[in-house]
Structure 1
């Protein structure tokens, strides 16, 4: 197991930007190099920035092994994982603000704008000038779309590369299909169970059902950071634990389609400017993707899939 260090920060862009943006900086004391890459990590819907920790553990472990045997070495300075303002620690810090103006729809552009302001330094709380860093964007699903859209704002972040993990891109034909997975995900989020007597009880149910195929490290992090103690503003009279990202906000996030369309329209431009790699699961259970699909005709410049 690698020795991964971390520090937590909160970006404050108020009054121009009303939502606080939590982030966590990760680095390895013996592997970090000033001329190395700075990874910018964005999570998927219903998740949070800490979900990236097992990936970072494994990545720095591989970097350490490569260094010890004299093999090719990728230099990574550090990684910054950023919460969407209605997810993870962001949901806690913005709990009251999110109840007005961010329901019933939370725009995917909002996560993009939060990341853009964070990287551009349009606020306080982050002691880094990212304009001087060698940035690599790494996003999953919702987070992948957000990172693509950050470059539609000025000044556009200068990414040396991007890795988009199952980006939630949809075409016009897909959106018109009543069976589109986004509809299912929205409906499932709105009606899902969201109160449990304890974290232990929640973990037992998660492990047996919804998240039984997850890496145990990710499941432990989800129980720790994806749940919060009751009572809350949503449930002022309940005890136990509930979702950190409320099911109202999760459904509101899935309900937005504009961000996904905007990202698809901009994707070819993004890929032409930023060397981009896409990663898709072998099972097309939400968005069906194949090299012959219309999606890839929009993004011929993707380096690898």
Structure 2
């Protein structure tokens, strides 16, 4: 796929890239989609504006296009802030969205029960090393990561990679559960998998599918612009005429199932936090995690704060902050970027 286009004030270009299989299930590379967004607006006239580039990673069940409301607001706001955004790259997991459709046979045969977060990390690394990333995109790169996309970034890149590639990392509703809480996370994952088995997987029409999303969490809490993107990209039609999600429910469950690398994730977080600015963003509405897992996240956030990480709470938002509160999240990110010294050495 080499798909350019324009969506309002955003210009985008999507690519289908490949990455190796980290579990060596076969020699067939996995395909994934990466999309580059830029603005159609005139460049900021602020003389002291500095250029920042973004790399965004997705939560489970999120397609690249669901970042558009936030990216649009960041590009709009640059007219009044001393920050100019050059490009925003979004990387989808290989088992989500268009990648899930292209990899369908391989996912069904090799990744039905578990899809490693490290495999998403391999896709992120493949994009970082791709010649599709323009030379101008390689300066002052800021990672904006969401939920499982936080872990994917750390599994895909070493501490030295992160330090040399990124000026800072925003961790939005990350899944950084300490290892001592794994039994609680295991129960949570089992409950989520059971919930997915009970969810409808196919509908007779797009209207029926959209009605379901409008009446169920988390989608019914999405900002209207995010829901419009969901309507456009979340589904596909089968040969029999049924409507299904591009990302199979079993692949959402398979991604949740990879929680055996908590020790590695914690070590990576601690090592990176000592050398690169990190910014934790959480929603005010706490509904996704159990009481014990909320305790676990508090413990981890306190550890990271002692290493210098900041923490921001977005009022009225739940776990899917980028899709629920793009206005509030964009302001929070811009406020931090304006205050934050950005090293000119931070390059891909």
Q: State the TM bucket, normalised to the shorter chain.
A: 0.7 to 0.9
Equivalent position of 1:51 in the other structure: 66
Does structure 1 retain, via aligned residues, the 8 Å contact 2:151–2:174? yes
Q: 1:145 aligns with which of 140, 144, 151?
A: 151
Deviating more after overlay: 269-278 vs 78-87:
269-278
Deviation at residue 239 of structure 1 after TM alignment: 2.6
Q: 2:119 aligns with which of 94, 101, 110?
A: 110
| Separation in 2, partners of 1:77, 1:109 | 28
**Aligned with 2:14: secondary structure?**
strand
| Separation in 2, partners of 1:28, 1:131 | 13
Equivalent position of 2:255 in the other structure: 253
Deviation at residue 178 of structure 1 after TM alignment: 7.1
Equivalent position of 1:167 in the other structure: 174
Report the number of matched residues. Answer: 290
Q: CA RMSD in A?
A: 2.8
Q: Are 1:3 and 2:5 matched, yes or no?
A: no
Q: Are 1:24 and 2:35 matched, yes or no?
A: yes
4+ residue runs over 6 A deviation: 14-17
| Separation in 1, partners of 2:50, 2:10 | 19
Alignment of 1:185-204 (within 5 A): 185-204=192-211
Deviation at residue 294 of structure 1 after TM alignment: 2.3
Does structure 2 retain, via aligned residues, the 8 Å contact 1:21–1:90? yes
Alignment of 1:119-138 (within 5 A): 119-121=128-130, 126-129=132-135, 132-138=138-144
Q: 1:222 aligns with which of 219, 230, 252?
A: 230
Equivalent position of 1:86 in the other structure: 95
Q: Aligned pair in 2 of structure 1 residues 244, 291: CA closer, same or farther (>3 Å)?
A: closer
Q: Are 1:12 and 2:18 matched, yes or no?
A: yes
Deviation at residue 261 of structure 1 after TM alignment: 4.2
| Separation in 2, partners of 1:200, 1:61 | 32
Gaps of 5+ in 1: 67-71, 232-237
Does structure 2 retain, via aligned residues, the 8 Å contact 1:24–1:49? yes
Q: Aligned pair in 2 of structure 1 residues 76, 228: CA closer, same or farther (>3 Å)?
A: same
Q: 2:109 aligns with which of 100, 103, 120?
A: 100
Deviation at residue 152 of structure 1 after TM alignment: 2.4
Q: Aligned pair in 2 of structure 1 residues 100, 224: CA closer, same or farther (>3 Å)?
A: same
Gaps of 5+ in 2: 1-6, 22-26, 312-348
| Separation in 2, partners of 1:214, 1:239 | 27
Does structure 2 retain, via aligned residues, the 8 Å contact 1:272–1:301? yes
1:200-225 Cα distance to aligned partner (Å, 9 max, x none): 22112211223221112212212221
| Separation in 1, partners of 2:36, 2:201 | 29
Does structure 1 retain, via aligned residues, the 8 Å contact 2:177–2:296? no
Equivalent position of 1:176 in the other structure: 183
